[in-house]
Structure 1
Amino acid sequence: MEFRETVKEPKRVPRRFSLLALVLVFLAGIAFVGTANYAITATNTLEFCTSCHTMQTNYQEYQETLHFKNPSGVQATCADCHVPKEIGPKLITKIVAAKDVYHEIMGTIDTPEKFEARRWHMANNVWKKMKASDSRECRTCHDFANMDLSEQSRSARSRHAAAEDKGETCIDCHKGVVHHEPDEPDGSDHAETAQATVDPS
């Protein structure tokens, strides 16, 4: 007498449920992308960037520059200079920037005095990032290739020509264009202390 093992076939999911699942995944994807885009756009505004009271000093300095007000009426905001346009670097910048909120809450830079004490260290980190990216954000508006050197002052013309020949980038010469350039700390002790403390930049 032979015993045959009966194998049960798995139940098939009705086609309409498969289609429904695909539609739901698609809608969830749209919702995620839409929410992420809204968050990125909202956190790129000048109002958001200056909403922390420790940013008011930077904001006041910015208002005194040509990036804020100029004859052409073209304004460069915080995001134009500090947030990359490409989605990958932009997302990384947004994630890393969350530490600024953390340090505001933790009290590392929550007063003008604390902010000024850390200012050179924070600025130096921003300059390093700009140098590493070949002043990528600056070049969305300014580029050697698009400059009419004949329209520039003699000093600017010679400096820009020399910088291009040497392979220098914007931030090599233009520190302190929008925010006051902080003085470098005196002595190695200060520098070592700055490196040892929590980095809010």
Structure 2
Amino acid sequence: MPQRKTSRRRFSMAVLVLMFFAGIGFVAALDFGIRSTNTMEFCTSCHTMHTNFEEYKETLHYKNPSGVQATCADCHVPKALWPKLVTKVIAAKDVYHELVGTIDTPEKFEARRWVMASRVWAKMERSDSRECRTCHDFSSMDLSEQGRSARSRHAAAEDKGQTCIDCHKGIVHEEPYEPLPETAAAD
């Protein structure tokens, strides 16, 4: 009996050690996947993202006097782990639609652009523009350094509890045209 007990104990320890290393491997693979899919190269590798990338290159988020650049992930992927994982799972549908041909050409992408943009705006409204506020928080703004209009609007937006996306929908990507009611019903 004692030998059997020792064998079980060794087996249990071996299983625990294997589970520990498997857990480390899983975390490493997850981290690698997140880091790989958060790069500008990955985000712009789809043919249809070329238009978005060209629009982005014309903004201050890409090139500015300070040299600080906001990448796709800075604006579209939360920093906190759980919201980041949820975002990655939801974003997989865009890759899926690229692969199955729903948005694989610029024309198809443009036809679906309003729907896709509306989803992103709704997400940003729900999160109080969490990703924007990583860099642009009201408490960090020096309103005295802003132009009169921006100073007035930012102060009013803060007082009203507005979120960035309420006013800045077309700040990086061109704001798509809302489809006509008869074409919107077809979606």
Q: Same fold (TM over 0.5)?
A: yes
Alignment match, 2:72: 78
Alignment match, 1:145: 139
State how far apart, in whole Å, the 2-side matches of 1:169 and 1:49 are.
Answer: 25
Alignment match, 2:163: 169
State how far apart, in whole Å, the 2-side matches of 1:13 and 1:71 are.
Answer: 69
Q: Name structure 2 gaps, 5 residues minimum.
A: none
Instruction: Give the drift of 1:192.
Output: 1.4
Q: Are 1:98 and 2:92 counterparts?
A: yes
Alignment match, 1:189: 182
Q: Name structure 1 gaps, 5 residues minimum.
A: 1-7, 195-201
Q: Which moved more, 1:112-121 or 1:171-180?
A: 112-121
Q: Which residue of 26, 46, 68 maps to 1:32? A: 26
State how far apart, in whole Å, the 1-side matches of 2:154 and 2:114 are.
Answer: 26
Q: Which residue of 5, 29, 46 maps to 1:12? A: 5
- Which structure dedicates a bigger proportion of its chain to helix? 2
Q: TM-score, normalized by length of structure 1?
A: 0.88
Instruction: Give the drift of 1:18.
Output: 2.8
Give the match's secondary structure for 1:53: coil
Alignment match, 1:155: 149
Runs of at least 4 residues of structure 1 off by over 4 A?
Answer: none
Q: Which moved more, 1:10-19 or 1:89-98?
A: 10-19
Q: TM-score, normalized by length of structure 2?
A: 0.95
Q: Deviations over 1:28-74 (max 9, x none)?
A: 11011001000000000000000011100001111111111111111
Q: Deviations over 1:83-118 (max 9, x none)?
A: 111111111111111111111111111111111111
Alignment match, 1:119: 113
- What amino acid does structure 2 have at the position aligned with 1:155? S
Identity in percent? 70
Alignment match, 2:36: 42
Higher relative contact order, chain-length normalized (CA < 8 Å, sep 6+): 1
Cα RMSD of the aligned pairs, angstroms, is 1.6
Give the number of the structure whose alpha-carbon radius of gyration is greater. Answer: 1
State how far apart, in whole Å, the 2-side matches of 1:184 and 1:16 are.
Answer: 65
- What amino acid does structure 2 have at the position aligned with 1:193? A
- What amino acid does structure 2 have at the position aligned with 1:134? D
Q: Are 1:58 and 2:48 counterparts?
A: no
Tell me how many residue pairs correspond in the alignment.
186
